[in-house]
Amino acid sequence: MSQAEIPTLQQLQAEVVHLKEELQTRDQLVQQLSQELFRLVKGNSRQPLQQVTTERDLAEMRALREQLQGMEEQVSFYQDQIAERDTRICSLEQSVQELSDRSQMLEQVVQELPNLYRQKFAERMAPVKEKVAQIQQENRKLHAELQSVSYRLAVRSRKAGQLDLPSFARGEDEVDLSAPGLSPLENV
């Protein structure tokens, strides 16, 4: 069944009310027919049953019995339909309840998602923050060592009066940096 073919709960309840009204009307007709039949039989009970010989009376009794049987079949049919509709209504109400429960559960999950994501993000970020803190601490330590080495190098070069430059092996194209009149500190 497609979504458009599924009747709503209100439609089903309206149809059940309509069927109950029809069943009540049929019950009244059956009651009336039963009373009429009883009246006819009671009226004829004063006379022996064998005396009812008129063709008209027999035809009327047959017609009433057929009507009564038809009404009983209709009542049975409508009772079956009502029972089937009641079962269907119960099934639909149960489906509605299950879907409502599921909807509430999903709504609760959706409401909890931001907190869950924050928690998972914080859990993943903890090792990263720890590593960043270690690197920053190591960076400060290395920076302090670099400043210390720079300071010591500056003090040493002031004491020695010259820079501590690496020495290269002298070749043909080599230029003498310690030429007269130029001190290594003046070039700096």
9-123 fold: Helix Hairpins (1.10.287)
Higher pLDDT, 29 or 120: 120
Instruction: List pLDDT tens digits, range 169-187.
Output: 555 555 554 444 444 444 4
Residue position matching structure tokens 């010591």: 152
Mean of the per-residue pLDDT values for the chain? 79
Instruction: List pLDDT tens digits, range 56-97.
Output: 777 888 888 888 888 888 888 888 988 898 899 899 899 999
Instruction: List pLDDT tens digits, range 136-168.
Output: 999 999 999 999 999 988 888 887 765 555 555
pTM, two decimal places: 0.38
Check residue 138 and give its pLDDT.
Answer: 95
Domain ranges of the chain: 9-123
Torsion of CA 108, 109, 110, 112, to 10 degrees: 90
Q: What is the DSSP letter of 162?
A: S
